[in-house]
Each structure stands twice: as structure tokens, then as C-alpha cells.
Structure 1
Amino acid sequence: MYIGMFLDRDGVINEVLSHRVKFVNKPKDFYLLNGVGEAIKRFNDEGFKVFVVTNQGGIGLGYMQESALDDVHKKMESDLAEFGAHVDDIAYCPHKPHANCACRKPKPQMILDLAEKHKIDLSNSYMVGDRAPDIEAGREAGTQTVLIGDRKDEAADADFFYPNLISFADSLTK
């Protein structure tokens, strides 16, 4: 069994709703947040399987095609490779925000599917997100939960709180 590091994408790995970008619908809109490449490299070096679990309702709403999302993820993987970092797999929910599908966070299905596929011990794994649905999905899947950013009031039941991914990696790998 492996230990997994499940990462939300927007707001944890890349900028969203920033001065440069509102939504990430094209590769040119994708910017790694500071320290993310180094953090994921540390997770890789520590033997974690690193996964991205992301709601992408823009597909269901018609703002982007799945092929465009694939291009965004190729850009993410290329940017991470510059740090010697990689993700082991990516899961996304393409459905509209209120479609009540099984895969959209806060439901845990993306995490559960990745865990089964990659033989992950969920009780020793982490779900890292910047919003309450991420924390709820991790809790429902049986992982430890980490809230990144300053929304403690929104996801007060997270197990751990850090300002960003690199500070979490620092605490875990030192």
C-alpha cells in the first residue's frame, strides 16, 4: 500500500481569481503558485503518490472542452517537471456545479477511485485543499485533511492549516 497526497488544483497548485487570471480555461492562464514545484518534489522524494483531484464545472457549463483541460494539465505537468516534480495521476469532475454527480467534491469518489487504482492507504494519506468541499471530500474518503490559505472559518474541521503548500511540505518533510 502507498500513501497518497491528494491535491486540489485551483488555489492549491495554481493561481485562480488572482490579478493575472480569473479562471484557468487555457494553458496561458495556468501559473504555479510560489513553492508548489518544490513542495510536490518533496512529496515525490518522500515516496508519496501525488494526485490532482479537481472540480472542472466549466466543462459542463460549456466554458471549455475536455481537450482544453488536457492542454492545461500538460502545462501543469511541464511546469512541475522544471522542478523535477511530477503528479502520478489526475482526476477531474467535468459536470456542472449542481449536477449532483457522484464525482464532484465534496463527494469523495475521485479520491476513492484513485486510491483503488493506485493501492493507496487512505488513513495515512492527505487531502489538501483551499475550500470546504475539498476538506469534506477528504474526510469522507478517510484521509487526513489540510486546508491551505486563510479560509479557516470556511473549513474549520480540517485536521491541519497552512498558508500554502510549501509550508505544509516543510512541516511534513523536515
Structure 2
Amino acid sequence: MKLLILDRDGVINHDSDAYIKTLDEWVPIPGSVEAIAQLSKAGWTVAVATNQSGIARGYYALATLEAMHARLRALVAEQGGEVGHIVYCPHGPDEGCDCRKPKPGMLRAIAQHYQVGLEGVWFVGDSKGDLEAALAVGAQPVLVKTGKGERTLEKGVPETTLIFDDLAAIARELI
């Protein structure tokens, strides 16, 4: 199985320090939906692992998050592809869960769902926490410069990190 795991906010859709709280605020980064569809059509399984502490903070309901993911799935399907397993952490940063990145719980959940190992699997993110989660399970950390990616890059990234402009560039590389 060719598995690619993506963070959501800042990788697939535009991010906001004020959180993505409504379906209207969930706006794909240009080229990201097409990239996921192209990867899917080329035989890649594209899963998503996303921190969503806005749920714990009361900024939006679980139903709103599910509507955002339904929109993502529909847009990718319109391009002839599909989105694989989506996992999210609804907890706040102080709740001590094992799923909130940089902890690797969501990545392990995806591996368990597909019954695969994570060694060398690309995990694409835009933050230090994403890269740390990848390293914790032996996955390949991949940074995109979209979202918080440029700021993350300025602060320094692990030596083994692969760096791309955006998700479309990753799709071109992998296909």
C-alpha cells in the first residue's frame, strides 16, 4: 500500500490563528484538492491526521467538523479521487491525550486502520508538531511552505525533513 498522511489546516485548506470554525471558513489551498485526487488516482491512499482543539474550546461543534470533511471528500470525488481515513484530535492542549500532535496517536490510529507500519511513510505538515509526530513513529517528516510552513522553516526543522512549496508539488514528486 502506498500511504500518504496529511495534516489538514495549512496543508489542504487555508489555516487561521483564529481557527477554522465554520464551513464557509474552510477554503482549500489552490491545487490541494486536485493534488489529493491525482494521488488517489495514481494508487495512493491519502489519509488525514488533524488537531482540532477548537472542539474542546467550544469554537465549533463536531457536526461542523464532519461537514468540513464531507466537503473535502466531495471536492476530491468531483476530481475523480477519494480521501482515505480521517482522524482528528478534539482535545485541548492541556488534556493529556495521546492523540494531539506532536504525540503520534493519530498516526498510529491510521496505521492500525490500514494494518500497515509507518516506517518511511510520508507525513505532510506545516508545523513543528507535525514533524515531531512523524519522527516519533519513524515516518518521513515532510514540510509544506503553505499555512505555518514558512514560519516553521525559519525556526529550523529536523535534518531529515523534506521540504516542498505545497501539496501540488508533493503530488508531482510522488506521481
Above 0.5 in TM-score?
yes
Q: What is aligned with 2:113?
A: 117
- TM score, norm. by length of structure 2: 0.90
Larger displacement relative to structure 2 (8-17 or 70-79):
70-79
Q: 2:104 aligns with which of 101, 108, 117?
A: 108
Q: Secondary structure at the match of 2:40?
A: helix
Amino acid at match of 1:138: A
The separation in 1 between residues aligned to 2:38 and 2:156, in whole angstroms, is 26
Runs (5+) with no aligned partner, structure 1: none
Question: Aligned-residue CA RMSD in angstroms?
Answer: 1.6
- Kindly indicate whether residue 84 of structure 2 is the aligned counterpart of residue 88 of structure 1: yes
Cα deviation per residue 1:34-76 (whole Å; 9 max; x = unaligned)? Answer: 1112211222123221111000000111111111111111111
- TM score, norm. by length of structure 1: 0.90
The separation in 2 between residues aligned to 1:36 and 1:110, in whole angstroms, is 21
Q: 2:162 aligns with which of 155, 160, 163?
A: 160
**CA separation of 1:88/1:155 partners in 2, compared to 1, >3 Å: closer, same or farther?**
farther
Runs (5+) with no aligned partner, structure 2: none
Identity across the alignment (%): 34
Q: Secondary structure at the match of 1:27?
A: coil
Aligned residues: 169
Q: 1:170 aligns with which of 152, 165, 172?
A: 172
Q: 1:42 aligns with which of 38, 44, 48?
A: 38
Q: In the TM superposition, what is the alpha-carbon distance from 1:155 to its structure 2 partner?
A: 5.0
Q: Is the 8 A contact 1:108 1:141 kept in 2?
A: yes
Query: Where does 1:1-174 land on structure 2 (aligned, <5 Å)?
Result: 2-17=1-16, 22-149=18-145, 150=150, 151-157=152-158, 158-173=160-175
Q: In the TM superposition, what is the alpha-carbon distance from 1:107 to its structure 2 partner?
A: 0.5
